[in-house]
Structure 1
Amino acid sequence: MTHPPTPTGSHRPVGCSRCADQAPLPFDFSMAFQPIVDADERRVFGYEALVRGTDGSGAYSILQQVNEDNRYTFDQTCRIKAVELAAKLQLQGYLSINFLPNAVYQPAACIRATLEAARRVGFPTQRILFEVTEGEQLTDRAHLKNILLEYQRQGFKTAIDDFGAGYSGLGLLAEFQPDIVKLDMELIRGIHQDSTRFTIVEGIVGICRKLNIRLIAEGVEHLDEYAALKALGISLFQGYLFARPSYEALPPVEWPLG
């Protein structure tokens, strides 16, 4: 997921009075869905909900309109739209939703709209996976940890997205162990012919295995990349090799040979 600009300073209210005072978003958007597949079992593990313009435009055009004044409303609307569409499409497996930690003021309070939407449309909350990018420039690392812990307490799955692309990396894992780590696509690009990348990913695989964290290789486009990652013991994949995102639809999976 492409991410909107993050605030330059700490601007998180103590309470949630600001949440009730949010103006409607000045723009509309919807979601596309891309499968996350389990290659060992040849089944769909889940789908990631990706922001798209209602005209089919990419995430960038929408996220450029997100600012400090509407960040909370945008984050909450993303969650609700994703859950409503998932239920409408009868999505099976996990629903992966990106969230903005700087838009979460109080974890237990700010999750209420997601819970209410899931109950209203009948989507099981235990099949919701919340992703936060490892490269997100956080104003408060302890705040992120509290959010993720609260989400796990509520029964949601948690994931660190774009792992290996940001500055925090293993330091974030030392403080919090999510259910899933998603390897950044730049780290796996050309891994079949790059011994350095292969060695780095091999190390991450070993660490995650010992911490009981599942790995998803995202952005997989080529069969050689897929074969190298599978040889390292990775079974969960996301990328154009399997399916491109589909606007308000669940695309079929193309299973590579081997």
Structure 2
Amino acid sequence: MAFQPIVDVASGKPWGYEALVRGLNGEGAGAILSQVTPEQKYRFDQACRVKAIELASRLFPAEEMRRLSINFLPNAVYEPAACLRATLAAARTHRFPLTSVMFEFTENEEIVDTGHLKKIITEYRRHGFVTALDDFGAGYAGLALLADFQPDLIKLDMHLIRGIEGSRPRQIIVASIAAAAREMGIMVLAEGVETWNELHVLRAAGIALMQGYYFARPEFERLPALVGSIDLPQPTHQAAFA
């Protein structure tokens, strides 16, 4: 597993870290996941969760609260309570607080049973986990999912972020999503941030949580140092959209 920081640009410090599948020789998630058969998907999902918690318990600074973000595929979860047993056991073993774990379900996987997804979210929240909708704006029925399920956080897909400083449509869309999320009490995280200009526009839209190569690339079984400058004047929401 590799880790990439999620940065709170208001404080300039990591808010948390996303655990990402990586091979021993640097293989990306796609190369690894392509080798996982449908029959192996559940066991692989469980093994990744346990490994992420074990590593985070060793790597995260004990004196500061950091969230551990873990991806999962809702269609691989056959029974929410049963599928959490290994996760809960790992958290107990390594004394990792459940409230510091965030589960991201991806919008790129078609949700074939929305009732099942609701059961998953309800069960995860019952244990204190944070829930997040990943790749918002890129996959299947993002707004419909948001209307039916209000996660604690949404992650804006990088395709909405790329080149936003020169795209008024992207600026309007992102600002509208951020405003709607605030009205619903949902946090917004922009992923795939690669430039200072993107950071500036996103912060002007009121987005404080960001992730991407501008801040740090994922590193295998270690926490990478932040590299991008976050020093910005305090923006107004209108600054980037005039």
TM-score normalized by structure 2?
Answer: 0.92
Contact 1:185 1:217 in 2 (8 A): yes
**For residue 174 of structure 2, what is the aligned residue in structure 1?**
201
Match for residue 212 of structure 1 among 148, 160, 185: 185
Contact 1:135 1:168 in 2 (8 A): no
Match for residue 197 of structure 2 among 192, 209, 224: 224
**For residue 105 of structure 1, what is the aligned residue in structure 2?**
78
Shift of 1:138: 2.1
**For residue 74 of structure 1, what is the aligned residue in structure 2?**
44
**For residue 247 of structure 1, what is the aligned residue in structure 2?**
220
Structure 1 residue 32 corresponds to structure 2 residue 2: yes
**For residue 240 of structure 2, what is the aligned residue in structure 1?**
none
CA deviation profile, 1:125-177 (whole Å, cap 9, x unmatched): 11000001112112212111210111011100000000000121111011110
**Stretch of structure 1 that moved more, 84-93 or 127-136:** 84-93
How far apart, CA to CA, are the structure 2 residues paired with 1:54 and 1:145?
35
Shift of 1:90: 2.8
State the SS of the aligned residue for 1:44: strand
CA deviation profile, 1:40-81 (whole Å, cap 9, x unmatched): 111110000000112221111110012211011011011001
Structure 1 residue 146 corresponds to structure 2 residue 109: no
Unpaired segments ≥5 residues, structure 1: 1-30
How far apart, CA to CA, are the structure 2 residues paired with 1:71 and 1:139?
17
How far apart, CA to CA, are the structure 2 residues paired with 1:222 and 1:41?
18
TM-score normalized by structure 1?
Answer: 0.86
CA deviation profile, 1:92-138 (whole Å, cap 9, x unmatched): 41000001111111101110100000110111111000001112112
Matching of residues 91-130 of structure 1 within 5 Å: 91=61, 92-130=65-103
State the SS of the aligned residue for 2:17: strand
How far apart, CA to CA, are the structure 2 residues paired with 1:75 and 1:235?
30
**For residue 35 of structure 2, what is the aligned residue in structure 1?**
65
How far apart, CA to CA, are the structure 1 residues paired with 2:140 and 2:40?
26
How far apart, CA to CA, are the structure 2 residues paired with 1:169 and 1:56?
31
**For residue 14 of structure 2, what is the aligned residue in structure 1?**
44
The alignment's C-alpha RMSD in Å is 1.0
Contact 2:193 2:213 in 1 (8 A): yes
Match for residue 155 of structure 2 among 159, 168, 182: 182
Q: Which amino acid aligns with 2:8?
A: D
Contact 1:189 1:225 in 2 (8 A): yes
Following superposition, which runs of at least 4 residues in structure 1 exceed 2 angstroms of deviation?
Answer: none
State the SS of the aligned residue for 1:34: strand
**Stretch of structure 1 that moved more, 137-146 or 68-77:** 137-146
**Number of residue-to-residue matches in the alignment:** 228
How far apart, CA to CA, are the structure 1 residues paired with 2:96 and 2:190?
26
State the SS of the aligned residue for 1:36: strand
State the SS of the aligned residue for 1:253: coil
How far apart, CA to CA, are the structure 1 residues paired with 2:76 and 2:97?
24
How far apart, CA to CA, are the structure 2 residues paired with 1:141 and 1:240?
33
Contact 1:160 1:178 in 2 (8 A): yes
